[in-house]
Amino acid sequence: MQALVIVAHGSHLSPGSAQPTYDHADTIRETGAFDEVREGFWKEEPSFREVIRTVESDEVYVVPLFISEGYFTEQVIPRELRLEDWDPDRWDSDGTSASQATLDVGDAAKTVHYCGPVGTHDAMTDVIVQRAESVTGDPDVGEGVALVVVGHGTERNENSAKAIEYHTQRVRDLDRFDEVQALYMDEEPEIDDVTDHVDADDVVVVPLFISDGFHTQEDIPEDMGLTDDYRTGWDVPGEVDGQRIWYAGAVGTEEFMADVLLERAADAGADIGDALDQVAEWTGGAPATGAGD
């Protein structure tokens, strides 16, 4: 038997944080690829600490629903899951190329395949493009359009910006959008000046965040000048300085995210049958970057 455990942040204050985790878990359950699919959280229950013991399967694929490699994926999650002999070097990553590590856990007789986070998987690029398609309602969106990927900023985690840059470059390489730009909340170049950074009349803005919350539903729309007061909402598209802003909200809420979770597990050796095809069919997703890796 094999289980998929999706580990995510969760929140003590807002139920919205965990919603994408449940949604993607449900999609994957529906594929039947795993005997068990479970969610585990830092701030909710079951906790990282106790999620492994809730599965019956011997083979457990753990995929962090996090954007970048760093403090959570390298320290907190492995420690809380009691991954034995974990060392970030096991992922052999340059900050965006985490793979997987096969480890024992301290509290159960199980083999855990600890995968890199969804955010740095190549398939995430596809989700960003898919997000642009969903928000514009145009499956061919690209020509005459600028795509902006928004990140939190480096703060103390340079990998956070690395993930943003990585996917931005990959979208650029597709040669599909007129312009592709990475902008940040807390550092230059800033999302506040979005219209200074791109020239296209239509600008799709995709925040590389897992769930919608304070940052994506309050800060970013206000910072961009899409609205003076987030409580009154904003138009999609909304107009800023004569440019049309198609603001997408957190990329992590895109249904096609289930694909990335599955690919992470498959890369680690999970047998997922035709689950990827099923998810693509249900979510309208497609690998924009060509075949997955």
Partner 1 sequence: MSAQRDDESLPPAAVDNLLEAATAHDSSGLLFDGLAIHQDDGGTYSLETPDSSHEDLSRTDLEAALYEVPALVTNWHFWELVVAGQGTPRRAFLRWCEGASLEPESDDESDAGTGPDPDDDHGTPVAERYRALETGVTRHWGELELTARLAPDVEGHGQGRRVYDVRHVEDADVPAHELEGHDHPHEAREIVTTDEKDRYRPLKTAPTLVTGWHFEGLSGDDFVETVRTIYPATIANWYREQRGELDVDHWLETAERQTGIYDIVDELPREAVEWVAEACCVDSQCVKRREWQYEDGDELAVDGGDGVFPCREPCSLVTAAARRWTVLESEDEKTWHLELTTSEMNQLVEIVDAVAEGRTDEIREADVYDGANRYRARYLRAKRMGDGSLGHEVEGDAGHDDHDSESGHDDHDSESDHDGHDSERDHDSDDDH
Q: 15 — phi, psi (to 5°)?
A: -70, -15
> Which span sits near partner 1 by CB under 8 A: 46-54, 172-180, 189-197, 282-290?
46-54
Neighbours of 188 (CB within 10 A): 8
Q: Could you tell me the smallest distance in angstroms from the CB atom of residue 210 to partner 1?
A: 5
7 phi and psi, to 5 degrees?
-105, 135
Cα 16 to Cα 11, 19, 131, 195, 206, distances in angstroms: 8, 5, 19, 29, 18
* Residue list 65-94, contact with partner 1 (CB under 8 A): 65-73, 75-76, 79
- What helix, strand, coil percent values describe the chain, rounded to 5? 40, 20, 40
Residue choice 179, 215, 223, 243 for contact with partner 1 (CB under 8 A):
215
Q: CA-to-CA distance for 206 and 182, rounded, in angstroms?
A: 10
Task: Count CB-CB contacts under 10 A for residue 264.
Answer: 29
Which of 259, 128, 234 shows the shortest CA–CA distance to 181? Answer: 128
Q: How many residues bind partner 1 (CB under 8 A)?
A: 57
* Closer CB to partner 1, 184 or 246, in the complex: 184
With CB under 8 A as the contact rule, which of the stretches 49-57, 136-144, 175-183, 261-269 interacts with partner 1? 49-57
Is residue 227 near partner 1 by the rule CB under 8 A? no
Whether the CB-CB separation of 41 and 81 falls below 8 Å is answered with no
Q: Taking CB under 8 A as the rule, does residue 289 contact partner 1?
A: no
| 31 scored as a contact of partner 1 (CB under 8 A) | no
Pattern of binders to partner 1 over 115-144, x per CB under 8 A? ----x-------------------------
Q: Which of residues 229-268 bind partner 1 (CB under 8 A)?
A: 250
Q: Is 111 in the site for partner 1 (CB under 8 A)?
A: no
Interacting positions 139-168 with partner 1 (CB under 8 A): 152, 155-157, 159-160
Q: Nearer Cβ to partner 1, position 212 or 259? A: 212
Nearer to partner 1, 119 or 285 (CB): 119
In terms of Cα–Cα distance, which of 227, 211, 28, 126 is closest to 219? 227
Minimum gap (Å) between residue 291 Cβ and partner 1? 28
As a whole number of Å, the CA-based R_g of the chain is: 19
Our CB check for partner 1 shows the closer of 58 and 281 to be 58
Q: Round to whole Å and give the CA distance between 211 and 253.
A: 6
- The tokens describing 213, both together, are 């919350």
Binding site for partner 1 (CB under 8 A): 8-18, 22, 26, 41-47, 49-51, 53-54, 56, 65-73, 75-76, 79, 107, 119, 152, 155-157, 159-160, 209-218, 250
